[in-house]
Amino acid sequence: MADVLARARESVAWPVRAYLLLAWTWCRALAQYPASLVMMTLATSLGVFAEIGAVIVVFGHAGRLEGFGLAEGLLIAGLSATAFACADMILGMVEHLGRHIRAGTLDVMLVRPVPPLVQMATDRFAPRRLGRVVPGAVIVTVALAECDIDWTLGRALMLPVLLVSGTAICCSVWVIGSCLQFFVADAREAANSVTYGGQALTEYPLAVYGRDVVRAVTFVLPLAFVTWQPVLYLLDRPDPTGLPDALRFATPVVAVAMCLVAAFCWRTGLRHYRSTGS
Amino acid sequence: MTSVRESTGPAGPDAEPVVEAVGLGRDFVLTEGPFLRRRRRTVSAVDGVTLTVRPGEIVGYLGPNGAGKSSTMKMLTGILAPTRGHLRVTGLEPSRQRTRLAGRIGVVFGQRTTLWWDLPLRDSLALTRHMYRIPAADHARRLAELTELLELGPFLATPVRQLSLGQRMRGDLTAALLHAPRLLVLDEPTIGLDVVSKSTIREFLLRLNTEEGTTILLTTHDLGDVERLCERVVVIDRGSLAYDGGLDGLRASVPTPRVLVVDLAAPAPPIGVEGGRCVRVDGPRQWLELSENPAAVISRVAQRHEVVDLTLREPDIEGVVAALYRGTVASGGV
């Protein structure tokens, strides 16, 4: 029993602690240049405002999309921005895997007693990444207040679960996409079509894309669970594309499954690297 | 210094070896040719390396480029999984127990830094402390020691990208030693450094070895490193061990002549003197391979030619290694 506990501490608690310690050390180090920090944070947040501005323009012209009004559209866009910004903050640096492989810094990470994923994710961890999270969260808050939501206890409790699940799915997609770089050095752009492209996709009510796209992002690459299914649940709407309503409760399960797939991909990639030593 | 090293030097044969490799081998599969007609070819980078390093030893791991030095180092540190053979480093299996092993060894790559480019050295070392879970008090004490020994004081607050190569290497050594590892693995630690920096680092490594008993395994192309540091050298060529023993033994096993470089006042046909065989001519400059003591040959050359300048070249370790390999092939060895 004690052995199991010790192993759990080593494989779960230590990486999390190492992540926080390393991220904190980076933040402190980068905070020595406060002007640069503030500028970068503001610049980063401008991107979010541009995206949300586009959503407002679209809804301004169309009025309603597939039965979704402006406030509901903003809720979807805001959730999407927040989940992707969180994922970007937590694991975004992993997309530089190819660079680490080419420069040999992955070798350096492998001879340190911290999982390489943690080292890579915290590399240059900058508080400026909050520049995307904060505006996203503000928009979600405003949209939640504006939407006509029947706040039951269940809904209130589900909200954080949905946010965490959405972030977890985004993180997994990010890691899985980056793992391609273990096999093809320049796969970053290809992976970006899924990571950033995925975000663009989830910013609008999925019903606008047609049935096949919705089915693909539900069952193949489950981005539908980042914003679409959670919003259907919060607004208590039937799925306009005709998928069963029960699907929306699968969100946490999908998140856990995606994390397992990502962990498997990462381990496979790392094993491949360590057996080719490229 | 020598007497101290002997007293705390290599422990007896009963001590648990720091590195134990038996029949260690590593293959790479290369694919070549155009798509669809691609063929796969297996190449052995390391083949049948058997090596034991005991606590307290300093071992130089030598060999020409592409001989399998780096592959061996990567296997020892757990970066690369061996294809075959038995390997234990400080009693652990590097490939499977990489993370645990990382806490017991220190690794320095001469060609790339383990520090963070944009951070001041001090912050880089703080990150290292967290990674190795070094208690703050131990870290402070150890950092103070290393700061004094390696004279880090003046540039602790400087971002790593602004450090000179010599300063950076001292920083790298510090980062690799903060957790007091039992084994220090150095991959070309003095590459590109000036004479003073090289000497600082060599003296530091000797001190580390004698005072703390740290076992050191280093690859290098620098004869000075080997002569100053290594009582034992291991030579690898084309993946296999070609020599394992003392440095003197290595020299003795392969007679490599010294070369006298003569600059004449004017170009001349190849010099023919007793004890010096002309091996190369380039304008007024000639290379003579010596088979006698240099003084005698120089006086003979000076009698017959107008000599402007002379240089005597000692056989470098690369030459010894190359000659050693030719020798083993000729005698059907390996």
Q: What is the pLDDT of residues B167-194, one digit of tens each?
A: 999 999 999 999 999 999 998 888 888 8
Of the candidates B74, B107, B130, the beta carbon closest to that of A277 is on: B74
Give residue-wise pLDDT tens across range B289-298: 888 888 888 8
pLDDT at B183: 94
For the cut 70, the answer to whether the pLDDT of residue A158 exceeds it is: yes
Chain B interface test: which of A106, A107, A271 (most B C-beta within 10 Å)? A107
Please indicate whether, in this complex, the C-beta atoms of A115 and B99 are within 8 angstroms of each other. Answer: yes
Q: What is the mean pLDDT of residues B248-260?
A: 76
Question: How far apart are alpha carbons B207 and A10 in whole angstroms?
Answer: 35
pLDDT in tens, A232-268: 888 888 888 878 888 888 889 999 999 999 999 999 9
What angle (nearest 5°) sits at the alpha carbon of residue B200, between those of residues B195 and B204? 145
Residues 6+ apart with CB under 8 A from B80: A274, A275, A277, B26, B71, B74, B95
Task: Round to whole Å and give the CA distance between A46 and B307.
Answer: 75
pLDDT score, position B13: 53
Helical H segments across B151-268, by residue range: 165-177, 195-212, 223-229, 247-253
Residue A61: is its pLDDT beyond 90?
no
CA distance A97 to B54: 37
pLDDT value at B331 more than 50:
no
Q: Please say whether the beta carbons of B215 and B184 come within 8 A.
A: yes
- The bridge status of strand B19-32 relative to strand B39-53 is antiparallel
Look at A261 and A64; give whichever has higher pLDDT.
A261
Q: How far is CA B28 from CA A267, B24, B43, B65, B95, in A?
A: 20, 14, 5, 17, 16
Q: Give residues with Cβ within 8 angstroms of B189, minimum separation 6.
A: B108, B110, B169, B173, B201, B205, B218, B220, B225
| Residue A39 clears pLDDT 60, i.e. is over it | yes
Contact A110 B133 (CB under 8 A): no
Residue type, B17: P
Measured between CB atoms, does A275 come within 8 Å of chain B? yes
Q: What is the pLDDT of residue B9?
A: 43
Beta-carbon separation of B79 and A112 below 8 A: no
- Write out residues 69-128 of A within 8 Å (CB-CB) of B: 103-105, 107-108, 110-115, 119, 124
* A-to-B residue pairs, Cβ atoms closer than 8 angstroms: 70
Q: Left, alpha or beta for A155 (phi > 0: left; psi -120 to 50: alpha)?
A: alpha
Residue numbers of the domain that contains A143: 2-276
Q: Judge contact between B219 and B188, C-beta under 8 A.
A: yes
- DSSP letter string, B273-325: ETTEEEEEEETTEEEEEESS-HHHHHHHHHHHS-EEEEEEEPPPHHHHHHHHH
Nearest 5°: the CA angle A159, A162, A168 is 145
Q: What percent of chain B has pLDDT over 90?
A: 24
Share of chain A above pLDDT 90, in %: 15
Least CA distance to B95: which residue of chain A?
Answer: A274
Cα–Cα dist A258/A198, whole Å: 15
Q: Is A111 in contact with B78 (Cβ distance < 8 A)?
A: yes
Q: Which CATH number applies to B2-253: 3.90.1150.10, 3.40.50.300, 3.40.190.10, 3.20.20.140?
A: 3.40.50.300
Task: Determine if residue A177 is left, alpha or beta; phi over 0 gives left, psi from -120 to 50 gives alpha, anything else beta.
Answer: alpha
Provide CB contacts within 8 A for B16, sequence distance 6+: B55, B91
Element (H, E) at A104: none
For A233-266, b where at least 16 C-beta lie within 10 A, e where not — what string? bbbebebbbebeeebbebbeebbeebbeebeebb
pLDDT for residue B5 is more than 80: no
Q: Find the CB nearest B112 among A26, A29, A108.
A: A108
| Chain A residues with CB-CB distance to B133 below 8 A | 113
- Rounded to 10 degrees, what is the CA torsion of A115, A120, A97, A32? -160
pLDDT, one tens digit per residue, over A92-141 is 888 888 888 888 888 889 999 999 999 999 888 877 778 888 888 898 89
Residue in A with minimal Cα distance to B157? A29
**Token representation of residue B54:** 């005991």
Question: Beta-carbon neighbour count of residue A186 at 10 Å?
Answer: 10
Task: Give the residue from A257, A254, A231 showing the smallest Cα distance to A66.
Answer: A231
pLDDT at B312 over 50: yes
Domain locations along chain B: 2-253, 259-314
So what's the pLDDT on residue A210? 79
- For residue B50, what pLDDT band results from cuts at 50, 70 and 90? very high
Dihedral sign (CA A79, A82, A88, A91): negative
CB contact under 8 A, A113 and B133: yes
Predicted confidence band of residue B317 (pLDDT cuts 50, 70, 90): low
| Residues facing residue B61 across a β-bridge | B219, B234
More confident position, A10 or A13: A13
d(CA A18, CA A123): 12
Of the pLDDT bands very low, low, confident and very high (cuts 50, 70, 90), residue B329 is very low
In this structure, are residues B8 and B74 in contact, taking their beta carbons and an 8 Å threshold?
no
The domain total for chain A is 1
Residue with tokens 């390396």: B49
> Are the Cβ atoms of A113 and B127 closer than 8 angstroms?
no
Question: Could you give the CA distance from residue B74 to residue B81 in angstroms, rounded to a whole number?
Answer: 8
- Pairing state between β B84-89 and B105-109: unpaired
Task: Please report residues of B whose CB lies closer than 8 A to that of A12.
Answer: none
